[in-house]
Structure 1
Amino acid sequence: MVLLRRVIGDALRARRQGQHRTLREVSTAANVSLGYLSEIERGQKEASSELLAAICEALGARLSELLGEVSDTLSLAEEMDGVLVPVDEKTADDALRKVARESDVAVSVRQDSPLKATLHATRKPREVVYAA
Structure 2
Amino acid sequence: MVLLRRVIGDALRARRQGQHRTLREVSTAANVSLGYLSEIERGQKEASSELLASICDALGAQLSEVLREVSDTLALSEEMAGVLVPAQGGDHASSAAAPAGAPTSPAPAASSAKAEAGVHRISEGSVSVSIRQETPLKAVLRSTRNVRTAPRDRDVVCAA
| TM-score with structure 1 setting the length | 0.77
Shift of 1:122: 2.7
SS at 1:127 equivalent: coil
After TM superposition, the structure 1 = structure 2 runs for residues 54-93 of structure 1, keeping only pairs within 5 Å, are 54-83=54-83, 87=85, 90=88
Which residue in the other structure is 1:101 paired with?
Answer: 123
Q: Report the Cα distance in structure 2 between the residues aligned to 1:91 and 1:8, rounded to whole angstroms.
A: 32
Q: Unaligned 5+ residue runs, structure 1? A: none
Root mean square deviation of aligned Cα:
2.4
Q: Report the Cα distance in structure 1 between the residues aligned to 2:70 and 2:40, rounded to whole angstroms.
A: 14
Largest Rg, 1 or 2? 2
Which residue in the other structure is 1:14 paired with?
Answer: 14
The amino acid of 1:123's aligned partner reads R
The amino acid of 2:8's aligned partner reads I
1:97-119 residue CA offsets vs partner (Å, 9 max, x unmatched): 422233443322245556x6442
Q: Does structure 2 retain, via aligned residues, the 8 Å contact 1:2–1:118?
A: no
Q: Which has the higher contact order (CA 8 A, sep 6+)?
A: 1
**Identity over the aligned pairs, expressed in percent?**
73
Structure 1: 4+ residue segments shifted above 6 A: none
Q: Does structure 2 retain, via aligned residues, the 8 Å contact 1:12–1:66?
A: yes
- Number of corresponding residues: 125
Q: Does structure 1 retain, via aligned residues, the 8 Å contact 2:88–2:136?
A: no
| TM-score with structure 2 setting the length | 0.65
Answer 1 or 2: which has greater helix percent: 1
The amino acid of 1:26's aligned partner reads V
